[in-house]
Every structure is written in structure tokens, then in C-alpha cells.
Structure 1
Amino acid sequence: MSNTRRLELQGFRGLAALSTVVFHVWQQYYVYDAQGSHPPLDNPYLGALISLEVIDLFFVMSAYLLTLSYARAAIDGDDRTRPRRDFLFRRAARILPLYVLAVLLVWSLRNPSLPGDWRDLLEHLTFTHVFDQQRIFYTLGPTWSLSLEIAFYLTLIAVGPLAIRVCRRLRTRRARVLLCASGCAALYLAPVAWIAVAHHALEVPYTNWPVYFGPQARLGGFAAGMALAVLLVALGERGRVGARTATALAVTAAVGLYALSYHSAPENTWHTYYHPLAALLWFALLYATLHVRTTARPRWHGLLRSGWLTGVGLVSYSLYIWHEPVMLALYDSGALPRSQAGFPLAVLFVVAAGVLVAAVSYWVVEYPGSLLVGLRDKKGRPREFYPEPDPVRMPVPEQQPKPEPAAR
């Protein structure tokens, strides 16, 4: 992937992270109702914009980036996939140092006397809190989504190598593409079926969080990202769209996302299937970003590559982890307004403080943790480090004559 495309995806991460912060400040001031609907605002149009959940964008982007190598290996035989252990090691180095530190710190502050809520700590450290109706949003509320990330990693290293092996037996490229696309479709439709049965047949309420927040209900976002990787590998350089087409597709997807948020209310179809539908619209928006002719980039791509936005995207994981504890600390200390009228000012305070804390967290914790990846070589084996020879104390090896070049 070109550096330009990486910057654009990083810009999306920045926008999504900022939107998430605003959304959670909104939740702090406008509480959910008993049916689990979005908090009300006097202006329903503004409410629809703020409540436009972007978690599915994170899922689609993550799945797209991690599935690319598997898609290339399965469809074109360009196998640069990493061994399972190396893949998991790299993901752990990316996620765990900051996550474990934040969980231990926040949990200890909220449980000053031992043993405290030890079950909450155990579930967060094992990424199983998403299955606990009571504790799913404890300690670090937004990190329920990391449980889904872990579930996706395990799914990918199970189905990815299997797809590669099966595709090697197929003679035509079209057949390989069809097999991969069919697998993505199955992974997308399975959560839709789960949601349909849970809501329509079993009448499970939306506030049963593990049922509708667990991987069995949210894997569709990752499946959409996998399908995007398969589609772009299958197309290659073909079908790249121009600036006008990309802009039209992006606007259509954005309007669709806004309409989905506006019309989403308890007990209606839009609310029930909000996340599978949102994943498809994010799929379309990312397609309009990634599969554009390099000679005709739309102007809005420039916004995604802007320095301030990609800077937020760089620290987006830290911002995602820390913004809720920062918000609650500011609120409890009285630094934030108490009335709903102070919501806009609270957003500014939390965004500013959150980005500052995230920047420090990135360079102090997240970036050093990412250096652990260098401990393994390209084949996933522990890298061996040898000291450079001392030219004074160690003899210089005898120079061997160079062989004559072979005749052409």
C-alpha cells in the first residue's frame, strides 16, 4: 500500500477517534433510556450526527489491512503471510502493553481495597468482559471492542491459511476469487442471522449487551473489511474510479450512514440491523478512498492527509484507551460543566485533554511497545543479535578471491 493510502486511512482513524470522544461525552450528559436507545437532544439532526457510531469503521479498516496478505496469497499466490505465532506476537506487541497498563491503573484506582472486584479485572485482562452483562462497560468502557478484535485475530489465522490451501487446488483465478468472496459473505451473514433470531424469534431486548455486542453479533464489520481486501486484490489496477465517481460514492455512503443514524430507534429495522448495514456503507466509503486513480484524487482526500488529522490518527489507539478515564476524572473533579448546556464546552475540554494524554501515552508506552516487533525476523523466529566485530581486538577475515562471472 502506498504511503498516500496509509495516510488517508490514518486520517480516517483520527476522525473516528475524535467522533468516539464526542459520542462518549454526549453519553455522559445525555443518558441512555431504559430501552437502550441513543440519548436525546433538542436538535434531532445534531443528535443523529453525534450518535453516528464509528466503531464499525475501525472494524472494517482493521480487517482490510490484516486480510490483504492472505487475499494476495490465496488469489495470486503471492504468499507473504506470517506464521500464526508471529502474527499473534505482532498483534500482542501492538495492543497489550498500553491496554494492560491502563486496565491495571484504572482498576486499582477504582478498587483501592483488595480484593476489589477481582472478576472485573480478570475478565478485562482476558478480554472476556464483553460476555458479562454487568461488567462489559466496567473499568475501560470502550474496550469491549478489543474483545472483538481478539476474536477476529483468531478467526483470521484459522480461516486465512485454510483459504490459501484450498485456493491452491483451484485452477482459475476467477474460482479463487469466488471462493474467497463466498467465505466473506458467509462470515457477514452469520451475525445477521444471529441478530434476526435473537430479536425476532427469541425477543431478546437490546439492553442484553453480550447478545448484541459479542463477536457472534458484530463479526459482520470485520467480514466487510475482509471482503474489501478480496475485492481490491481481485481488481488489481482495474476499475479504479476517477475523482467525481469517488466523491459521488463517498457522499452517498456518508448520507446513508447519517440517514441510518437518524432513523435508528428502538424496535425498528434500522436499529436492529444498524451495524451490519453501517459496515456495508463504511465498505463503500473506504472503496472510494482506496481504489481511486492516482492521477485524479478527490480534494477531500487532502483533508484525510492533513497533518493535524493524521497526527490524531497516529495516537488514536491511546486516545481510545484513555479518553473515558480522562473524561470521568475531569467530571468528578468539577473541571467540567454539570449541566447539559455545558456539553459543547465539555467536548472541547475532553478532546484537548484526551489528545494531550494520548500523545504522551503514544511516545512513552505505545511506541516503545511496538519496538518489540523487531525481536522476531520475517519468518517469525526470535531474532539473534550478534555484536559488531571490534576492528582492534578481532582479526579481519582473510579476503577470498571473487569467482569469475559465469558466461551468459
Structure 2
Amino acid sequence: MRAVAAIAVLTTHVSFQTAAVNTGVIGPILGRLDLAVALFFGLSGFLLWRPWAGAARSSTRADVVRPPDAALPPPDTGVPAPGAASSSDAGVPGLGAASSSDAGVPGLGAASSSDAGVPGLGAASSSPDTGVPAPPAASSSPVEVRGAARRRASKPGETKMSAPGPSRAPRPDIGRYFRHRIVRIWPAYIVVVVLVLTLLPDAKGADLTVWLANLTLTQVFVALSLTAGLTQMWSLSVEVAFYLLLPLIGLVLVRLRGDRARVRIPVILAVGVLSLGWAWFAATLPLADGVEPKNWVFGHLPWFVSGLVLAEIAATVEAAHHDPASYPGGLRITVALSANRPLMAAVFVVAYALACTPLAGPTGLGELTHLQFATKMVLGAIVGYALLAPLVCATGPFGFLDSPVMQALGRWSYGIFIWHLAVLAVVFPLFGIVPFNGNMPLVLAITVPLTIGVSAASYTFIEDPARRWLNAREAVKGSVS
């Protein structure tokens, strides 16, 4: 699914820079592929919130013993009735969880919640390692509840830790979460920024403010800091802001545990609804010219909320041992509807079609009214939920998404996101193609393979080594402690 989102982001940018967004009926459809960002944000919300949702339903903290050099066992992340879920560790985005496990949902790619669907980002390392986006592969068999672990004295050389599981999930480890987030995002990202700002003609000569804003992913807060080859990074800036916000949300909801966990979904939905008023509120802020507060995380919370809600559903189903008769309230109906692939496909088509109309604003350049912005947020959240819900709530197989090709593209999806505009900026002059003058099929046919090649190299020589370095470092520290 990360691969789908990454290619969609690339396609919408190609369609814009070839003016294809202005052609007949297909134009708005291509232009509105920018809702792939909603899918990325939904993935982040699901993967990163999963450990928090699981911890809220733990009644006690049982201890188990593990050798000091053993990998930290991920908290049980059985996917809601469905199936498959590889509980790969993900101290990350998955936010924190002590051992923030990713919920490898079939089709979702792999699952290291660590990765987290970063805006284009999506995650990308398909290896389920620790907190890294590990995308692709995911175990198709559901994680089963093993029951309460018994406490016993640790032996010399062994370390006690909380036993994961639907009834006793470990608390999210926020420090580990942030370490994995940083290592997941910045190494390759910094390389892109430096190369673009030093070599790309339209971006060369940037002042110190632009450099700092881009290197720190604070572009959305700094006027006129989005530059050629890097304009897509606004969504990555929002993603990083969400990483900072997520632990705060977890702390705010910390008292909604046990029996009170049933109100977590209504509370999260209420926050999403309230955030729809962000455009009106932001208009009253005394900001410098050129700063667009609609691009801040508060305005895009509905897109993340779709994933947070799915994480809560998954955790509730797991806590009920996947027994529909034990689901609280109307969850049984919610899960059944969310698992219905034809229904979710229909919901997606309707929401996407509405998003292609003026209701959600222009699909190319142009200002969105406050109402259009709020409408786009609602429709994007529905699109994201409709695409992700079957992966979380339905049983497999998801043959296309779990195919070797899609798994590979999922591993490289972060690279596809951060590199594609730089590649596109080179394609036009290199092949003598005039921007905004048609030739979309040709430009797309050239840009896609070039971007995939660069992204594969980025993963192999930058992203994966950085991830392995952090994992090795943590393994050594764990053995020492």
C-alpha cells in the first residue's frame, strides 16, 4: 500500500508539471491523486498509534525473562479479526510502544510500524526491524494471544520485561521511538536536500533560512522556504510534526484505559471533527506573509485520525480475542463493514469522485476556501480509511499488494517520495521536454524507472545501513544492560 501511495504522489506531480491536470475528465482524477498523502498519514496514524491503543487495554504488566542479547519482543499486534499481522517491532512510529510493534497488516506492507507511512514517505524499509518502516513483508497469520505470562525471578544475565499481549501490552518507549524516527527519516533526506540545493539550477543559491528550514523539516512554518525539487516535503514536515504530537496525544488519553478504553474512539473522532475548524482559526493568527497554516499538522489531523481509529479497532478486537460476541458497543458492525471489500471500494470511489469536484477545491494551483479545505480533509480521511480498513479488518489474501514487486516498491517507497521531484526536474532538460506542455505518458515512463532506480540505491546505501547501525547499537546497549 505504501508503494501505491508513493507512485500516486509521483504521478500527480508528473501530471501537474505536464499540464495533464487541465485535460478533460482525466485531469481532475490525476490531480486529486494528491490524496495519496492522506493514505500515508493514515498509515502513520495506524502504525504509530497501535502500541498506544494496545497498552490502553492492558490490565496488568506481567514480566517475562529474555536473554540480554535477544531482540526486544514486539507487543502482540493481532490484526482485528483479520488476519495477518506480523508483529514486527517498531518502536517507532508505531510510536513508541515500548517495543512499538508494527502491525504488519497484510497488504500494508510490512510492517514495521516504525516506519510510518511517511508522507510520501511511507514507509519504507520493508524489514520488520525495529521501528523502521519496514514495509513489505508481513506474516499472514494472525497473532494469537498467548495468555498471561508468569512472573519469575530473573536469572543471572537475563533481563525482565513486560510481556506483550492484548491484556498486558508494554508501555510505549518514547525515547526509542524518537531515535528510530530520526534514523528512519533524516539520513536519506539530508542527502536529497544537500544535492538539490547545491546542484539543481532552480534551487541553487538558496539562503541560510531556506537551508535550515529544509534540513530541519520546518518548511511549513517558514515563509517561502519550499524550493524546486523539494516542494513535496511540506507533507514530510507535517509528518514529523505528527511524530512530535503523537506522544502528547498518548499522554492526554492515558487515563482512558481498561473499561474506559471504549470511549477512546469517540474522543479521537471528536478531535478530528474539531480540527476541521482549523482553517477558520488559523486565519486569525498573526503570521508572516508566505506562511500557510493550512499546511500545519493541526489542519491535517483528520487524515491521521483515520489510522488512529483503525488502530483502536484493531486493539479492541485483539483484546476481545477476536470474538465478535465480546466486541463492545457497535464494534461488531463496524468491523464487519470495514472488512467488506466491495463496500469499502464503493466508499472509496464515491469519496474520491467527490474530491475531484470543486467541493474539495482546485486540483492544480489555486487557493482553497476554508470550507473547501475542510471538505478535502473529510474526503481524504474517508479515502484513507476505505483503503486501509479491509487490510486491517478483513482476512487475506491480498495477492497484488503482497507480491514481490509491490514489496520491493514498498521498501523503496520513502526514496520514491523524497527523490521523485529532483528526478523529474532533471528529466525535462535532459530529454528536451518542455514543462507544462503535455507529453505526460512520456515523462511518466521516463521518471518512474529512474526514480525507482535512485530510490533502490538510496535504500541500499543509506536507509538500510542507517537502520542496521541503530539496531546494532541498541542490541549492544541491551546486552550491556
TM superposition score category, shorter chain reference: 0.7 to 0.9
2:260 is aligned with 1:158? no
Matches within 5 A, 1:140-219: 140-164=230-254, 166-168=255-257, 173=259, 175-178=260-263, 180-198=264-282, 210-219=292-301
CA contact (8 A) 1:17 1:316 kept: yes
2:18 is aligned with 1:18? no
Check 1:373–1:187 CA distance in 2 against 1; reply closer, same or farther (3 A cut).
farther
Instruction: Tell me what 1:309 maps to.
Output: 406
- 1:286-330 CA-to-partner distances (Å, cap 9, x unmatched) read 112210135xx5xxx322222222221110000101110111012
CA contact (8 A) 1:111 1:117 kept: no
Unpaired segments ≥5 residues, structure 1: 1-11, 31-38, 387-408
Secondary structure (helix, strand or coil) at the match of 1:277 reads: helix
Structure with more helix by fraction: 1
Q: CA deviation at 1:70?
A: 0.5
Q: CA deviation at 1:105?
A: 1.8
- 1:359-396 CA-to-partner distances (Å, cap 9, x unmatched) read 11111111111113314548xx934579xxxxxxxxxx
Q: CA deviation at 1:43?
A: 1.9
The 2-side partners of 1:112 and 1:194 are apart by 33
Q: CA deviation at 1:130?
A: 1.0
CA contact (8 A) 1:70 1:161 kept: no
Matches within 5 A, 1:358-373: 358-373=455-470
Instruction: Tell me what 1:235 maps to.
Output: 317
Instruction: Tell me what 2:58 maps to.
Output: 76
Instruction: Tell me what 1:89 maps to.
Output: 179
With structure 2 as the length reference, what TM-score do the two structures score? Answer: 0.66
Which residue among 279, 291, 294 is the counterpart of 2:381? 279
CA contact (8 A) 1:191 1:217 kept: yes
Give the counterpart letter for 1:227 in structure 2.
Answer: V
Instruction: Tell me what 2:347 maps to.
Output: 252
Bigger relative contact order, structure 1 or 2 (CA pairs below 8 A, ≥6 apart): 1
- 1:37-72 CA-to-partner distances (Å, cap 9, x unmatched) read xx7422223432442321010000011001101100
2:192 is aligned with 1:102? yes
Give the counterpart letter for 1:14 in structure 2.
Answer: A
The 2-side partners of 1:154 and 1:21 are apart by 27
Check 1:63–1:146 CA distance in 2 against 1; reply closer, same or farther (3 A cut).
same
Instruction: Tell me what 1:3 maps to.
Output: none
Matches within 5 A, 1:369-384: 369-375=466-472, 377=474, 382-384=477-479
Give the counterpart letter for 1:281 in structure 2.
Answer: V
The 2-side partners of 1:249 and 1:335 are apart by 43
The 1-side partners of 2:202 and 2:314 are apart by 51
Q: CA deviation at 1:195?
A: 1.9
Q: 222-231 or 267-276, which moves further after superposition?
A: 267-276
Check 1:265–1:163 CA distance in 2 against 1; reply closer, same or farther (3 A cut).
closer
Check 1:112–1:22 CA distance in 2 against 1; reply closer, same or farther (3 A cut).
closer
Q: CA deviation at 1:176?
A: 1.5
**What is the number of equivalent residue pairs in this alignment?**
350
2:44 is aligned with 1:65? no
CA contact (8 A) 1:13 1:58 kept: yes
Instruction: Tell me what 1:321 maps to.
Output: 418
Check 1:41–1:139 CA distance in 2 against 1; reply closer, same or farther (3 A cut).
closer
Q: 154-163 or 106-115, which moves further after superposition?
A: 106-115
Check 1:28–1:242 CA distance in 2 against 1; reply closer, same or farther (3 A cut).
closer
CA contact (8 A) 1:44 1:262 kept: no
Radius of gyration: which is bigger? Answer: 1
Instruction: Tell me what 1:334 maps to.
Output: 431
Check 1:291–1:324 CA distance in 2 against 1; reply closer, same or farther (3 A cut).
same
- 1:19-50 CA-to-partner distances (Å, cap 9, x unmatched) read 111111122122xxxxxxxx742222343244
Q: CA deviation at 1:18?
A: 0.8
Instruction: Tell me what 2:443 maps to.
Output: 346
Check 1:149–1:248 CA distance in 2 against 1; reply closer, same or farther (3 A cut).
same
Unpaired segments ≥5 residues, structure 2: 60-167, 325-331, 363-367
The 1-side partners of 2:237 and 2:348 are apart by 27
